[in-house]
Chain A
Amino acid sequence: MSENARSTARYSYGGDEQIFVQLDEEMSLQANFRAMAIAELIRQRAIPGIVDVCPANASYQVLFDPDVIHPQDLMQELQAIDNEVGDAMDFDLTTRIIEVPVYYNDPWTYETLMRFRDRHQSPETTDLEYAARINGLDSVEAFIEAHSGSPWFTSMVGFVAGLPFLFQMTPRERQLEVPKYLRPRTDTPALTIGHGGCFSCIYSVRGAGGYQMFGITPAPIFDPEQRLPDFADFMIFFNPGDIVKFRPIDREEYDEYRAQVEDGAFRFHKREVHFKLSEFLSDPDGYNRGLMEALNGN
């Protein structure tokens, strides 16, 4: 698999200030993990002229100053780093597992989805009912259980400031898949839990969006004023590589968390963990149980 994975990489210039590398056409945890490992190694090398390194789902890009490093020289360095990383199976990622409380089926995303029924594949049902049905689940409750039952890997951060793309850490046949809206909405509440294709996301700000809406989290993930303790160092909470576990909450708990946010006391429940792709792939369910123990143990 590793040789094949590498041979699909496609290098391209994004103008004279960026190099774009498509690692795979398909989404997979393997391709994403390669992007993470390559980005990490590029940062460690501290190559003069590099302005930013952006790992994405199955690709990455590097922003650079061509007055400092010639694009062809940088391209060669990137190819060498790619070879060094190889399949990234044993790359040891130090990351975090984070619990994200979610009020599924909340009144705010419900109000919003009702306003945009004319843009939806299934105008007569809610986004959750539709998602349950096309994934072969017999109820919204069963869908919520599947959505919150296994962790998700932050495969990319972006679109707008701090928005995490989340890829479900289960074998492909168990991954939830739901198409985007037929036409994008012009409005999405901030902190909506969305889903499009195989990705879930958390909308960091209010705005346009085309992902299905399942619920809302009380926890800010983007805080430009850096008011909450989790944002003391930086205004954005998520990093590529973070592992997310959703936990369903009810209205009462939602309101409690919101009060904590208002008081400036809210903190995410999180733990540092080490992640190795080879260990995960050999036993995903067992590995995820271990992650849950790391999150909830002492």
Chain B
Amino acid sequence: MAIKVIKPGLATSIQDRGRWGYYHVGIPPSGAMDQYSFLAANLLVGNDENAAVLECTYLGPELEFQQNAVVAVTGAEMSPRLNGQEMPLWTSFEVRAGDRLSFDFLKRGARTYVAVSGGIDVPIILGSRSLYGLGAFGGFEGRNLQEGDLLPIGANGSAFVERSVPQDLRIAFPELIEIRVMMGLYDYLLTEEGLKNFFETTWTLTPVADRIGFRYKGSELRFIKRKQPFGAGSDPSNIVDAAYPIGSIQVPGGLEPIILHRDAVSGGGYAMIGTVISADMDAVAQTQPNSKTRFIAVDLDQALAARQERNQRIARLREALAA
């Protein structure tokens, strides 16, 4: 029994918590880009926290269920419709064999998560079911969903329980997001003015925003002109190729900053000037092209406090959705 893909949506993939431990050979973690919404979706349908779900970007799929199941939709505001009838977000509901699930146009956010009781049961590769697109493995046959795919569903022991995420534990979509960044890495290569511009500019997300990275425009960030070290490229923004931290921000040619996300290229020759803190990576994932972002500098203690706050919020989510 399975789910049949009637329409695939724009870029729908299978994701879980991710594949850790292989970044040293170029395989990034992958996994749901908004981990909080991903977790909420699984908790709503009574799944294991790491069960695989669908991540739907900008435009949702249309799915036909070939078995009964419990479903929950979280993340970006893209209202689900069951056989045409609008269903609530952040709330579990039952589907019957033969039902069709479709989605309204995206209102706010960028990525919607669809959990199905039992989880999407594609093969586990290197500890994860997540798609890694550049490597063409994981997920459903190493690619985004296509029309006609039959998605296998795992064994589903638990009965339907109606669960809903309380309003204060759902995610917000501010007009202007503030992303906290720990500076460091190669930030000493920026001019003083470049560094100042980074924080004073209101950045606009360009359409180049996908699972690999998010590219922004807004101002120029100049690098100090220097004699380039042996092995580094000729542009002042070049370094000897290094490993890229997940969430790190690079500025090729000083022009458009790029935040690397969960399908990051693992290394390269562009200077990274700082790294988005772990607590804010979900928020980056929910931004749309043309949305506005500002960067805020924080230190290690502030980053750890933000992480603690996020962990506490997750603990409250677990408590609210406990069976």
Q: Is A12 an interface residue (CB 8 A)?
A: yes
Q: With A26-B240, A52-B24, A58-B242 given, is the CB distance from A196 to B266 under 8 Å?
A: no
Are A56's CB and B267's CB within 8 A?
yes
Interface 0/1 of A89-113, CB less than 8 Å to B: 0000000000000000000000000
Are A159's CB and B231's CB within 8 A?
no
Are B135's CB and A15's CB within 8 A?
no
Residues of A within 8 A of B230 (CB): 26-28, 172, 198
Q: Is B173 an interface residue (CB 8 A)?
A: no
Which of A52, A198, A235 is B231 in contact with, Cβ under 8 Å? Answer: A198
Q: With A25-B229, A224-B135 given, is the CB distance from A162 to B265 under 8 Å?
A: no
Residues of A within 8 A of B269 (CB): 196-197
Q: With A14-B185, A14-B275, A56-B242 given, is the CB distance from A158 to B229 under 8 Å?
A: no
Q: How far is the CB of A33 from chain B (nearest CB, A)?
A: 14
Chain B contacts with A in 153-211, Cβ cutoff 8 A:
182, 184-186
Which of A13, A26, A67, A161 is B26 in contact with, Cβ under 8 Å? Answer: A161
Q: With A14-B247, A56-B241, A161-B134 given, is the CB distance from A236 to B233 under 8 Å?
A: no
Residues of A within 8 A of B243 (CB): 20, 54, 56, 59-61, 156, 158
Chain A contacts with B in 148-187, Cβ cutoff 8 A:
156-163, 165, 172, 179-180
Are A15's CB and B242's CB within 8 A?
no
Are A15's CB and B303's CB within 8 A?
yes
Chain A contacts with B in 1-36, Cβ cutoff 8 A:
12-18, 20, 22, 24-28
Residues of B within 8 A of A52 (CB): 20-24
- CB-based nearest A residue for B26: A158
Interface 0/1 of A201-244, CB less than 8 Å to B: 00011010000000000000010100000000001101110000
Q: Which of B134, B239, B240, B242 has the most CB of A within 10 A?
A: B240
**CA A61 to CA B245, docked complex, whole Å:** 8
- CB-based nearest A residue for B302: A16
Are B182's CB and A13's CB within 8 A?
yes
Q: Is B58 an interface residue (CB 8 A)?
A: no
Residues of A within 8 A of B185 (CB): 12, 14, 20
Interface 0/1 of B235-278, CB less than 8 Å to A: 00001111101111000000000000000011111001001111
Q: How far is the CB of B264 from chain A (nearest CB, A)?
A: 10
Q: How far is the CB of B250 from chain A (nearest CB, A)?
A: 12
Are A179's CB and B234's CB within 8 A?
yes
**CA A193 to CA B17, docked complex, whole Å:** 35
Q: Is A55 an interface residue (CB 8 A)?
A: yes
Q: How far is the CB of B5 from chain A (nearest CB, A)?
A: 22
Size of interface on B: residues with Cβ below 8 Å to A = 51
Q: Is A51 an interface residue (CB 8 A)?
A: yes
**CA A239 to CA B26, docked complex, whole Å:** 11
Q: Is B25 an interface residue (CB 8 A)?
A: yes
- CB-based nearest A residue for B22: A52
Q: Is B105 an interface residue (CB 8 A)?
A: no
Residues of A within 8 A of B125 (CB): 224
Interface of A is mostly: loop
Q: With A25-B232, A56-B241, A205-B136 given, is the CB distance from A12 to B184 under 8 Å?
A: yes
Size of interface on A: residues with Cβ below 8 Å to B = 57
Q: Is B323 an interface residue (CB 8 A)?
A: no
Residues of B within 8 A of A51 (CB): 20-21
Which of A15, A158, A236 is B276 in contact with, Cβ under 8 Å? Answer: A15
Chain B contacts with A in 9-27, Cβ cutoff 8 A:
20-27
Residues of A within 8 A of B137 (CB): 224, 235
**CA A60 to CA B242, docked complex, whole Å:** 7
Q: Is B318 an interface residue (CB 8 A)?
A: no
Which of B24, B126, B182, B275 is A158 in contact with, Cβ under 8 Å? Answer: B24
Q: How far is the CB of A35 from chain B (nearest CB, A)?
A: 10
Q: Which of B184, B230, B276 has the most CB of A within 10 A?
A: B230
Q: Is A63 an interface residue (CB 8 A)?
A: yes
Are A27's CB and B229's CB within 8 A?
yes
Q: How far is the CB of B177 from chain A (nearest CB, A)?
A: 17
Residues of A within 8 A of B278 (CB): 15-17, 66
Q: Can you pick out 23 interface pairs between chain A and chain B where the beta carbons lie within 8 Å of each other? A: A14-B182, A14-B272, A15-B182, A18-B246, A20-B185, A25-B229, A27-B230, A52-B22, A56-B242, A58-B231, A58-B242, A72-B300, A156-B243, A158-B266, A160-B26, A160-B134, A160-B265, A160-B266, A162-B26, A180-B233, A197-B269, A204-B26, A224-B135
A14-B182, A161-B132 known, 8 other contacts, Cβ within 8 Å: A14-B185, A15-B246, A25-B232, A54-B23, A61-B243, A61-B245, A157-B25, A224-B136
